[in-house]
């Protein structure tokens, strides 16, 4: 009885609302994960355990500001942010040979990788509150997605009286168009407070990565900072694809208009 009386088909015409909550996104990131397979192949060639994992997934947040222009139609602006990160490491003994291929000594090699992929979105959206289905809404969105991929490699080589630490860091920002569609349900606890759930699909491929990389040897610059165009590494062929399904849940508050 509470659910049927509390649910509503849409907010009062002329009311504004704010809605926020947690979001989980099933971003594709296929190219970045394929890049990790490539890195594991390098580890195996070096004789190190190929145990580096794909980019991790974590909840993000979303925030919507909207206005009810008609009983069944509302418009708004949405913000969303999600960050994926992963720390990997691998270590083992490697044989050092000279230029003639003659064995010299065995040293311990440790490789560590710290990577982070994040995306922030700002979109405009239009929602249709389905007539005859209290609380149910459908929507479309479009706007800009601003992403960044950062990666740091640290290589430590140790012997009996020998230790060097080299570091290679990259930073790749990107921006592109995001579009999507979603559906959800809004449940009112009072005339001004409600809870919501929604899910849908976003299309957001920021294409090729572009950015800068720096290299340090024992804390000192090993070479001048390199732009993306100077690099010939694997990341040149990686696409920054954040397309995928998403789901969100949270609370909403409405202001103005006639009370429900």
DSSP, residue by residue, 202-219: EE-EEEE---EEEEEETT
pLDDT at 46: 83
Domain assignment present for residue 91? The answer is yes
- For residue 122, the domain's CATH number is 2.40.160.20
The helices-and-strands tally (H runs, E runs) of the chain is: 2, 13
Domain assignment present for residue 137? The answer is yes
What string of pLDDT tens digits covers the 260 residues of the chain? 333 333 445 577 888 999 999 998 877 777 777 778 888 888 888 888 888 888 767 789 999 999 999 889 999 999 999 988 889 999 888 877 777 777 677 888 888 999 888 889 999 999 999 988 888 999 999 999 998 888 888 888 887 777 888 888 877 788 889 999 999 999 989 878 999 999 999 998 877 666 666 665 555 554 544 444 444 455 555 667 888 889 999 999 998 865 54
pLDDT at 224: 47
Domain assignment present for residue 138? The answer is yes
Token pair, residue 87, equals 């720390």
Domain assignment present for residue 31? The answer is yes
Please count the structural domains in the chain: 1
pLDDT at 211: 62
Each residue of 42-62: b (16+ CB within 10 Å) or e? ebeeeebeeebebbebeebeb
pLDDT at 6: 38
Domain assignment present for residue 89? The answer is yes
Domain assignment present for residue 229? The answer is yes
Nearest to 119 by CA among 196, 29, 37: 29
Domain assignment present for residue 260? The answer is no
Domain assignment present for residue 105? The answer is yes
pLDDT at 227: 43
Tokens 């993000």 label which residue?
60
Q: Domain residues for 40?
A: 2-255
């Amino acid at each position: 009885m509470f659910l049927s009386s509390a649910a509503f088909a849409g907010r009062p015409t002329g009311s504004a609302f704010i809605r926020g909550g947690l979001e989980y996104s099933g971003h594709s990131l296929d190219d970045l994960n394929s890049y990790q397979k490539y890195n594991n192949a390098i580890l195996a060639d070096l004789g190190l355990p190929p145990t580096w994992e794909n980019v991790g997934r974590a909840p993000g947040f979303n925030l919507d500001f909207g206005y009810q222009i008609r009983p069944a139609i509302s418009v708004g602006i949405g913000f969303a942010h999600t960050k994926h990160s992963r720390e990997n490491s691998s270590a083992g003994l490697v044989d050092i040979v000279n230029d003639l291929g003659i064995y010299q000594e065995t040293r311990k090699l440790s490789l560590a990788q710290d990577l982070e992929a994040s995306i922030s979105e700002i979109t405009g959206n239009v929602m249709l509150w389905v007539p005859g289905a209290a609380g149910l809404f459908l929507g479309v969105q479009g706007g800009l997605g601003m992403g960044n991929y950062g990666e740091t490699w640290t290589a430590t080589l140790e012997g009996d009286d020998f230790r060097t630490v080299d570091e290679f860091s990259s930073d790749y920002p990107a921006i592109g168009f995001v579009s999507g569609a979603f559906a959800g349900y809004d449940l009112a606890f009072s005339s001004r407070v409600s809870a919501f759930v929604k899910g849908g699909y976003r299309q957001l491929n920021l294409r090729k990565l572009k950015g800068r990389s720096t290299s340090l040897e024992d804390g000192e610059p090993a070479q001048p900072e390199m732009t993306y165009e100077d690099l010939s590494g694997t990341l040149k062929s990686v696409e920054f694809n954040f397309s995928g399904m998403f789901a969100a849940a949270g609370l909403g508050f409405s202001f103005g208009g006639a009370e429900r």
